Amino acid sequence: RAILHGDLRGEDVIVVSNREPYIHQYRRADGGIEVQRPASGLVTALEPVMRACSGVWIATGSGSADRAVVDANDRVAVPPERPSYQLRRIWLSPEEEAGYYYGFANEGLWPLCHIAHVRPTFRSGDWAHYLAANRRFAEAVVREAKTDDPIVLVQDYHFALLPRMIHESLPDATVITFWHIPWPNPESFAICPWALEILNGLLGSNILGFHTQFHCNNFVDTVDRLIEARVDRETFTVSQGGKLTAVRRYPISIAWPPVEDMVGKPVADCRHDVRAGNGLPPGQLIGIGVDRLDYTKGIIERFLAVERLFELNPQRIGQFTFIQIAAPSRSSIDEYRHHEEAVNALAARINARFSGPAPAILLKVEHHEAARVYEYYRAAEVCFVGSLHDGMNLVAKEFVAARDDERGVLVLSQFTGAARELPEALVVNPYDVDQCAAALELALAMPPEEQGDRMRLMRRLISEFNVYRWAGRMLLDAALMRRRSKLPDNPV
């Protein structure tokens, strides 16, 4: 955190993401405004970074009371309880949101980049909105820049065209783009009718970051295959028209130490409150899953594994409950609505088969505040992260951070970025129902010493590679580039 403060003193830092870190939801009866922290890995990671270095965060306004709190420049100081940076909101019309966010970003790029076997949909109308929305954010960056060489941190697949647009208007800006989701292989990426425009857009960045080396490799292979550019595999840079982009791996993480509010409540109280609050008997064994209700998260496969656990270990019936917290997400997209129906139906079917005095599966489709989620993490015997494909997955890291008692077992999909960093978890293939069921049983039966050994190793890694280091490393690399670019040209 100190490094961030030091490096950024006096710098003009702008973050751009689609999702805003605080949503002003509605006015309560007492006159106050209800503020929500959205369920987004990107926000979870970036918010502590922005708290540490004041700057401007530009994002789409999404709450019904969002307009009520901004000033004439559409800005509001956040966090509400202790303002330390500015949130600048962009207002999109329902048509813009349908085309840019639901359409191109979430029915096109999202399934294109995740191997979850959902077919991407590309429509030229959505593309036009995507282009226009990127343009509007680029204009906002130019307006918010206090200097002609700001550091701009562009976040995620909503803004593939933005780096090039910023570079054209502010050629001395340092643009660091981070792609929070996987990058597919060249054959898959070429499905996108606007593949070339997207690559050219991203190559307006000075640094382009991914969570894993595998995704860096896929990106560089895609560039090599699809466009005219010079790829240097020694330095992992791409140069195109005199512009150099460094492609780098920066595995994202979470704040460490975790905020006191999250881990302040004793584990025994969390265990008691979670059981009592959900009508479960004392001593009930608990598994926890925490996700957005998204088809990439493998919720169906996870429930099938719980079902198989009961088939193979009947003594667990009535003794173990799997609690799935599922935050509603992108529900105007058909694929998400169908997925929600399928998840509900499967939970009901498994509960009809296997509930004892307590249900087999407790499905909670609603938004949970972070402090509540941490209570669940602290109450659980096992946390099951079963994504079919995931850039990083911060739930895995949050669960580990929550367990300062060094107990609890993480079952983790091999198809998450997190699995590369946390091999001490029980790493599973979420498509292999038998293997996942066996991992759940292993977790429930694991001796406390082994839980402690695994948990300590994972906690050590996350404490060291926390989110400040993630941001710090990108900014250090950027600072070096800035200093180099200010040197006179080599005279010899």
Residues in the site for ligand G6P, rule: CB under 6 A? 19, 40-42, 156, 180-181, 292, 329-330
In terms of CB distance, is 108 or 408 closer to ligand G6P?
108
The CB-of-119 to ligand G6P minimum distance in angstroms stands at 19
The CB-of-39 to ligand G6P minimum distance in angstroms stands at 6
Q: How far apart are CA 302 and CA 328, in angstroms?
A: 18
In terms of CB distance, is 359 or 391 closer to ligand G6P?
391
* 276 Cβ neighbours under 8 A, 6+ residues apart: none
Q: Using CA of residue 256, residue 269, residue 40, residue 106, what is the dihedral sign?
A: positive
Q: Name the residue among 68, 113, 110, 86 with its Cα closest to residue 12.
A: 86
Which residue is listed with tokens 């667990």?
A: 316
The CB-of-279 to ligand G6P minimum distance in angstroms stands at 30
The CB-of-375 to ligand G6P minimum distance in angstroms stands at 22
- Strand ranges across the sheet with 151-155: 75-78, 85-90, 56-60, 13-16, 151-155, 174-178, 207-210, 243-249, 237-240, 230-232
The CB-of-334 to ligand G6P minimum distance in angstroms stands at 16
In terms of CB distance, is 24 or 180 closer to ligand G6P?
180
Q: How far apart are CA 419 and CA 210, in angstroms?
A: 15
In terms of CB distance, is 292 or 459 closer to ligand G6P?
292
Q: Taking CA 138 as the corner, what is the angle to CA 26 and CA 224, rounded to the nearest 5 degrees? A: 120
The CB-of-63 to ligand G6P minimum distance in angstroms stands at 13
Q: How far apart are CA 419 and CA 422, in angstroms?
A: 5
Q: How far apart are CA 439 and CA 216, in angstroms?
A: 31
* 188 Cβ neighbours under 8 A, 6+ residues apart: 112
In terms of CB distance, is 39 or 439 closer to ligand G6P?
39
Q: Could you count the other beta carbons within 10 Å of the beta carbon of residue 459?
A: 18
In terms of CB distance, is 418 or 438 closer to ligand G6P?
418
Q: Could you count the other beta carbons within 10 Å of the beta carbon of residue 134?
A: 24
In terms of CB distance, is 19 or 302 closer to ligand G6P?
19
Residue 413 carries which side chain, given as an amino acid letter?
S
Measured from each CB, the residue nearest to ligand G6P is 40
C-beta separation of 304 from 282 below 8 A: no
| Residues found in the chain | 492
In terms of CB distance, is 412 or 444 closer to ligand G6P?
412
The CB-of-286 to ligand G6P minimum distance in angstroms stands at 25
Q: Could you count the other beta carbons within 10 Å of the beta carbon of residue 115?
A: 15
The CB-of-59 to ligand G6P minimum distance in angstroms stands at 10
The CB-of-31 to ligand G6P minimum distance in angstroms stands at 28
The CB-of-104 to ligand G6P minimum distance in angstroms stands at 13
In terms of CB distance, is 14 or 426 closer to ligand G6P?
14
Burial 339-353 (b: 16+ CB within 10 A, else e): bbeebeebbeebbee
- Number of H helices and number of E strands within the chain? 20, 18
C-beta separation of 120 from 107 below 8 A: yes
The CB-of-159 to ligand G6P minimum distance in angstroms stands at 10
288 φψ region: left (φ > 0), alpha (ψ -120 to 50), beta (else): beta
In terms of CB distance, is 333 or 401 closer to ligand G6P?
333
In terms of CB distance, is 188 or 355 closer to ligand G6P?
188
Residue 107 carries which side chain, given as an amino acid letter?
E
